[in-house]
Structure 1
């Protein structure tokens, strides 16, 4: 059972999400909050597996809430569900520690899929969010204005896996397309992260784009 807390200051959205998620057999909404402060109190009393939060809320917004949750409750996964569709909000959410970012017009099936994948340890961004993220980083210079050098040692197969990860495919989906085991895909993902010297999927995609290993 996946325990979920929802934070959103709009009653219709909040109640609609609770009803929709509680109708899923493996999901259980254990609390709802109207702002970040209230959400933190709920998490303190009964930590969920996942926090689903809006960005624009009174008292404490979703970005600050995500940052606090990441710091104090690292085992709690966070998905941002927002109407904001620009790279500033998306990048701020990622820097705060969000594990996923979806737009509020996402289909119920996509939200369900995102929750399951994030709780399983993956990152999830809706397709439009992934595109915005990549477009905002593409062709940026490296640190101190210097161009990033090409990374050596990444195999052709690892590049294929990297491209599919950037497109938002899950390990299971990648395994199916490349006729590999999920364990092999996991190993490729780990090796790529080691070679790029990154700690998570979001950093891996950003670095790969900066180094022009992948293009969109």
Structure 2
């Protein structure tokens, strides 16, 4: 049995559908929260649709946290030996963090087992967090009453409105935002390259990679609050 504190969702596919764009998650979006949470004494596990090696990009070795993550044996093992959904017992995790990428849009959006994990953690009064395109993992999560998890919740809006109509990346961002709004999400827009993080109860969302450090700190803060309230330790 795997038992941890925070479960990180990452995608398995390296590209979104037939796109030639990289679909790996941005390393900082995993590295910063992972370092913050584990250095506070909590355990992090990674799960992906297929398990095994998870693709990533955006590596900046001049970034001390990126460099630390790739040189830390335990952290490296986490992203090269990710768990499969069937290896996860949702009740063992009080918090889930969904890491975004273009690959996540095709790989996680309609993954039933991962959606069930997120639903179970939320309905167990746990914390659900997401960054950037990680919204693909929240988009279709429904609760036991049939409502969308994100309905009526404030979310940090991913990206900006497209400046060029045929820019695939911007168009994907716009489409994702519109789909979130159709499901009742209240999107809170931020300026580009800011560390916008929005907390709405137990739901924490970050606008993108610039939010990675603040996401880790916010998840840790809310997680400690959760532990205190339910007296788990």
Do the two structures share a fold, i.e. TM-score over 0.5?
no
Normalised-by-shorter TM-score class:
0.3 to 0.5
TM-score by length of 1: 0.39
Structure having the higher helix fraction is 1
TM-score by length of 2: 0.37
| Bigger relative contact order (CA 8 A; separation at least 6) | 2
